[in-house]
Amino acid sequence: MSQLPKHKQLILFDGVCNLCNSSVNYVIKHDKNDVFRFAPLQGETGIAIIEKFNLDTSQTDSILLYSEDKGLKIKSSAALAIASKLGFPRNLLTIFYIIPTFIRNWVYDYIAKNRYKWYGKKNACMIPTPELKEKFLN
């Protein structure tokens, strides 16, 4: 976590999930203010954060958002916090904060539970291109 530059937020994602990898690519494309860095949950940084926050990976296993000053966001709250930084019109998704968290997370969990079946799975974590390598932590 010491690798995370100050004032950056770290998106932890399932490195073998096709939906998660597509989502990371989408965020990279729309992160005009260079807010985010990325790390697979299966990597050193991901494991360190999971241990620091004592997370049960059977309950939370797809996307996390970490920053030094704001701590950890999980599930739908992480997704909405990410969308809020991606500019118009994606930032309009924050309207979904009005929906109670347990309902948002129920929908989120349903998608997360079926993501491999619907979108497939890779055998290994995504390898970033040389141009994008600086955005990824181990």
Residue 97 CA: distances (Å) to CA of 14, 21, 74, 102, 137: 24, 24, 13, 11, 29
Q: How far is residue 138's CA from residue 54's CA, in Å, rounded to a whole number?
A: 19
For position 60, what pLDDT does the model report? 63
Q: What is the per-residue pLDDT across 49-60, written as a single tens digit (0 to 9) for each?
A: 889 889 887 666
How many percent of the chain have pLDDT more than 70?
91
How many percent of the chain have pLDDT more than 90?
41
Q: Would you kindly state where each structural domain of the chain is located, as residue ranges? A: 9-135
- Following DSSP, what letter does each residue of 10-23 receive, concatenated? EEEE-TTBHHHHHH
Q: What is the per-residue pLDDT across 11-44, written as a single tens digit (0 to 9) for each?
A: 998 877 777 778 888 999 999 999 999 988 888 8
Burial of 66 (0-12, 13-18, 19+ CB in 10 A): buried
Q: Are 10 and 66 in contact (CB under 8 A)?
A: yes
Phi, psi (rounded to 5 degrees) for 133? -55, -35
Q: How far is residue 59's CA from residue 37's CA, in Å, rounded to a whole number?
A: 23
Q: Are 65 and 83 in contact (CB under 8 A)?
A: no
